[in-house]
Structure 1
Amino acid sequence: MSNIAILLLAAGASRRMGQAKQLMAWQDTSLVEHQIKTLLPTGASIHIVLGAYAEKIRPLISDFSVTIYENPHWEKGMGTSLAFGVQHILKNTTNTAGILIALVDQPLLKTSHFKTLIDTFTPNQRQIICSTSDKGWSGPPIIFDRCYFEELMKQEGDHGAKNVTKKHKKAITFLTLGSVLEDVDTPQAFAKAITRQF
């Protein structure tokens, strides 16, 4: 397996949901614990960025084999958590060939989806491996080659890595993962996802 680090972003305030999305119940556990359990079998190192509700989330995940970072500027948007996470991964790992960015609110994704992304990635080829849905939506989970790390560390605001993908469109390889990419930003979306989990 390529030397991939997984960056799980779980710092948001979940304003559209109206409650801490990370802590919502999913398959007899919380959403954040479920996502970690899905990622662990990939064998990649897992790094999670917390922000809002960190004091409630940290005790739930402290026993997992993950590295936890707390972004003090999480309120400034996902871009700051992305940049913060990449910076700390580079401080705490060596020879990282690529970073897979995952979100806490895509619970329908299976371990096999993440393994497919990782297996598609070839180090030192300037690749961006991007997921796409049946409806044409594209985004995380997404892998960036190390040549993009400097740009990722400059991201800010609510756009995540969109500025980087727009700039390097020709480097992107799209993998269709179907409708499982749907995130759960609202109570309605969460209820819909629950009916599809089995």
Structure 2
Amino acid sequence: MTCDSFKLASTQLKPTSPLRRSNHAVIILASGLSRRLGQAKQLLYKAGEPLICFMTKLALSTKPQAIIIVIPDNQPLIASAMNELAFQYSIIQMVVNPTPKTGMAYSLTLAIEAVTQLTSSSIERVVIMGVDQVLLDEQHLAKLLADKRSVVASNYSSWQHSNNRNLNETTTANASTQNIIGLPLTIDYGLLKRWQAVLSGDSGLRYFIRELPPSQVSTVSNKQLSYDIDTPEQLIHAKQQGWLDEQY
């Protein structure tokens, strides 16, 4: 199970062609164990390829200096799915989280450490993203990078599911109950390094962002980011909508 040949019509990225890179790196947090879903969300299929490959190609479209992908230990299928892209693009580096149960913050700490060890880099900003926001697109990432404030986060509502209501109805009903400021986001690299030592659990970064002055934080709204894949019901709905491939 590997990524298909990389064809992004909008950017025409080619491994043999020099790319003009910007001043950012991308961290993809992909070490979740998908317990509620019951299968590895990294290996769900979108547009004929594993979701982790699809998201990596989105990251490549921003022309970063580096892409750090954190994957869980003892998941060889996830690692092998990325082998082709990692071979084609030297800027892609995979980092294994040996203890994915400890939460997202440890994955982020490992990724930050990998960024700090890059040589000959001039990284000023970092894009942090996950793998399961299946409607994320290049345009949203471009908007995040266009704003130069210390933190530029995504703004969307939660997608909740109740057994006695369909997903669309539940989404509408709960749109005003939980407004999320979260991934993907861009952050000043110096700020991220400063917070590295004190990150913990699943919400450490969000806590520190809340402490920043409002003038340093901006958001980009995108209701489509509500649709992440955490449960079997959400997966079924995503396939019914054509957001994910039905045959896998």
Mark yes or no: TM-score above 0.5: yes
CA contact (8 A) 1:22 1:57 kept: yes
Equivalent residue in structure 2 for 1:175, among 220, 223, 226: 220
Deviation digits for residues 138-192 of structure 1 (CA, Å, limit 9, x no counterpart): 2000111023122034312122521221222522101112223421111212222
Q: Write out aligned runs for 1:20-99 (5 A).
A: 20-44=40-64, 45-64=66-85, 65=89, 66-93=92-119, 94-99=121-126
CA gap of 1:197–1:24, structure 2 versus 1, over 3 A, is: closer
Q: Which runs of 5+ in 2 are unaligned?
A: 1-20, 158-174
Amino acid at match of 1:88: A
Q: Distance in 1 between matches of 2:183 and 2:196?
A: 14
Which has the larger Rg? Answer: 2
Give the counterpart letter for 1:131 in structure 2: S
Looking at structure 2, the residues matched to 101 and 35 of structure 1 have their Cα atoms a distance apart, in angstroms, of 12
**Contact 1:108-1:193 within 8 A present in 2 as well:** no
Matched, 1:141 2:184: yes
Q: Provide the residue aligned with 2:143 in structure 1.
A: 116
Query: Could you tell me whether the CA contact under 8 Å between 1:109 and 1:181 is conserved in 2?
Result: no
Task: Give CA-to-partner distance per residue, 1:116-157, whole Å, 9 cap, x none.
Answer: 11122x2xx5x1001102543220001110231220343121
Give 1:10's aligned amino acid: A
Aligned length: 194
Is the contact between residue 99 and residue 143 of structure 1 (CA under 8 Å) also seen in structure 2? yes
Give the C-alpha shift of residue 52 in structure 1.
4.5
Distance change in 2, residues 1:15/1:164 (3 Å): same
Is 1:191 aligned to residue 239 of structure 2? no
**Conservation of the 8 A alpha-carbon contact between 1:152 and 1:161:** no
Report the CA distance shift for 1:154/1:63 in structure 2 as closer, same or farther (over 3 A): farther
Q: Distance in 2 between matches of 1:153 and 1:14?
A: 26
**2:14 corresponding residue in structure 1:** none
- Give 1:2 deviation, angstroms: 4.4
Q: Which runs of 5+ in 1 are unaligned?
A: none
Structure 1 partner of 2:210: 166
Distance in 1 of aligned mates of 2:117 and 2:61: 24
- 1:7 and 2:16 are equivalent in the alignment: no
Q: Is the 8 A contact 2:25 2:127 kept in 1?
A: yes
If the length of structure 2 is used for normalisation, what is the TM-score? 0.72
Q: Distance in 2 between matches of 1:6 and 1:117?
A: 12
Structure 2 SS opposite 1:80 = helix
Matched, 1:156 2:177: no
Identity %: 26
Distance 2:35 2:213 in 1: 31
